[in-house]
Amino acid sequence: MVGGVKAEKCESGLFIQNPDGTQYTCETYLGTALNKAKEGETIVLLDKTLTPKQDITIEKDITIDLNGNTLAISDKEITIKGANVTIKNGTIETSSDKQLKVDSSKKVSTLTIADDVTVTSTNASSAVIQVNDSTNNTEVNVNGIWKVAAELVDCDDGKNLTVNLNANVTGELTSKTALVTLDGGTSIVNVNGGSYSSNKGAFVLEKGTLNVANGNITAAGNHAIIVKSTKDDASALNITGGNITATGQDKYALYFAGSAGNEKGIYSITDGTFTSGKDEEGNKLAAIKIDSKVFLENHPGMITGGTFVGGIVGDTPSGERITIATEASKQLVAAGIAIVTENGQVVVGTTNGNQTEQPEEPTAPESQEATGNTADAKNPGTSDNFMSLVSLVSASAAY
């Protein structure tokens, strides 16, 4: 019995069930059932594996209940067009570039993969969910368990796209570099929980907004999160929680490429735990690497909290100006006054005034106008007025 309806009354295929579960209609093909179903009804699968025989476009609010069975998408695609569609309770298998597509060219569209769904995709070149058009608001909710060979969601067309992630994802990527790449203008990706493990990278931010509130992000073959916005492309990164880890040699939990030094971007780290890999000699890397000194000039006070395993700064005496990640690498990662707290942690803060003199190598900005989420660094003040505080690991941590 499924939803109050005796499924055995239908020999095979699927059936349409009305919202209160009191009526149903037996059908053979998914396309036929979707054409006959009314707004708000549910399509329930009966066969262990159902493979669409034709391309399908869903233009009404509907739920697809896999009923513990498998929807196999091979050479035919399913497109959600101006509709609110939920797929739940079963398995989705994809093996070609004919996968799930979303089209909001005429109306708002929402696709939700429920938390009781397992998604397996062996296609290495195409995202499992592809956004064809996001002219109108487009929302993709990713839950459940995913095993993928390419991206989860294609954000190329991201004019009005929001992706909410709360899934357990394992990626064995070949041609793609990350589980999600934000390169579609104003795309918004929210990492609300779950886990994201990749043999390469996890997230790449070029254009759009990446918000990480919770979850475990782990990358083995690349940096876990890469920011590489160009000068004219504004992007935003907001990290308020989660565990972000890179395990590979010379790979960082959070890596700002040299091209990330634009003034238009807005970046904020208020919490979270960051752990990078080691160098070729086995030394622990700093948790965050910034390849551009200009980046710090444009974004002072970006880091206001978090735990950085291996540190952003090394074993530094209290009161010295910090401009490097480690003495060994001379990486420019954080600028501020180092304070050692009673519990042995190092705190880096950029004050409005009373700055210590900059070291000769590398050079850090003495003053600049803050952008985004910071105050005016040129305005004199006191050391009690911090623009940022960063909680780090013990000052005696080995590098």
60-71 pLDDT per residue, tens: 999 999 999 999
- The pLDDT value given to residue 307: 77
Residue in this structure with the two tokens 């971007």, named with its chain if needed: 265
Measured distance CA(135)–CA(143) in Å, rounded = 24
- The pLDDT value given to residue 314: 37
Which residue, among 41, 44, 53, has the nearest Cα to 78 in the 3D structure? 53
74 confidence band (pLDDT: 50, 70, 90): confident
Task: Return the higher-pLDDT residue of 115 and 309.
Answer: 115
Measured distance CA(94)–CA(76) in Å, rounded = 10
Q: What percent of the chain has pLDDT over 70?
A: 70
Q: Exposure of 138 by Cβ count < 10 A (0-12 exposed, 13-18 middle, 19+ buried)?
A: buried
Strand-pairing partners, residue 112, are 86, 141
SS3 294: helix
Residues 315-330 as b/e (b if ≥16 CB within 10 A, e otherwise) read bbeeeebbbbbbeebe
DSSP state of 2: B
Measured distance CA(41)–CA(28) in Å, rounded = 17
pTM for the whole structure: 0.80
Q: Is the pLDDT of residue 371 over 90?
A: no
SS3 41: coil
Q: Is the pLDDT of residue 337 over 50?
A: no
- The pLDDT value given to residue 260: 54
Q: Would the CA dihedral through 207, 285, 238, 301 be positive or negative?
A: negative
Q: Is the pLDDT of residue 275 over 50?
A: yes
391 confidence band (pLDDT: 50, 70, 90): very low
210-249 pLDDT per residue, tens: 999 999 999 999 999 999 866 667 789 999 999 999 999 9
For residues 335 and 390, the answer to whether their CB atoms sit within 8 Å is no
285 confidence band (pLDDT: 50, 70, 90): confident
For residues 49 and 72, the answer to whether their CB atoms sit within 8 Å is yes
DSSP state of 210: E
- The pLDDT value given to residue 301: 65
Pairing of strands 216-219, 235-246: parallel
35-61 pLDDT per residue, tens: 999 999 999 999 999 999 899 999 999
For residues 318 and 339, the answer to whether their CB atoms sit within 8 Å is yes
291 confidence band (pLDDT: 50, 70, 90): confident
Measured distance CA(255)–CA(333) in Å, rounded = 10
Look over the chain and give the mean of its residue pLDDT values, rounded to a whole number.
77
292 confidence band (pLDDT: 50, 70, 90): low
Q: What is the DSSP string of 371-382?
A: -TT---TTS---
